[in-house]
Amino acid sequence: MTRRIVLATGNTGKLKEMHEIFSIIDVDIVAQSEFDTPEAIEDGLSFVENAIIKARNAAAHTGLPALSDDSGIEVDALNGEPGIHSARYAGDDESNIQRLLRELESVVEEKRTARFQCVMVYLRHANDPVPVIAHGVWEGRILRTTQGQGGFGYDPVFYVPERRCSAAELMAEDKNALSHRGKALRQMLELLQTNSSN
């Protein structure tokens, strides 16, 4: 029997990525927006806490098992900022990028190291005491100007050393193979497959 899992986001890009990677197992992933689920209040102090908050909220309002992720970018020269505040750093994507570039204006190339973090959580129900947790990391550095038209968020200023381009210049398949979210998704898929009683 096909299991239905609610995805704790209304982001169509994330939903598409999930469908592609999870297509090999018998699950039907639906966005929480289909259930008029209110947005969770992300007041955790870590990616793990915020991902759990979002999953519990989606499971509570839909009665379905829930999958959520929380992700962001950590910049070493800024002591890990913007971190869990990445999406709300200055407002929208463009404002976030401009603020980040201003903050790093005087920082030399070798000190502009950064990484994307993604924590993914699966809950069988809203009160599940043992969340399944997956984690992906993507190392790179921050460019001085934007490059590329693809992706979203901080992708245009995130330099990918192994491809010698920004994340916004990668083809979708290449990005899914390298990215923090792609890694976390594949890890979560393995965890759910090995524990199919979920």
What is the set of active-site residues? 70
Look at residue 49 and give its three-state secondary structure. Answer: helix
- Give the other-Cβ count within 10 Å of 111's Cβ: 13
**Of the candidates 109, 107, 111, 135, which has an alpha carbon nearest to the alpha carbon of residue 121?**
135
Distance between start and end Cα atoms, the chain: 13
CA distance 131 to 117: 18
> E strand or H helix at 27, and its extent?
strand 27-31
Q: Which residues contact 144 (CB under 8 A, 6 or more apart)?
A: 101
| 18, 35, 167, 181, 187 from 184: Cα distances, Å | 11, 25, 17, 5, 5
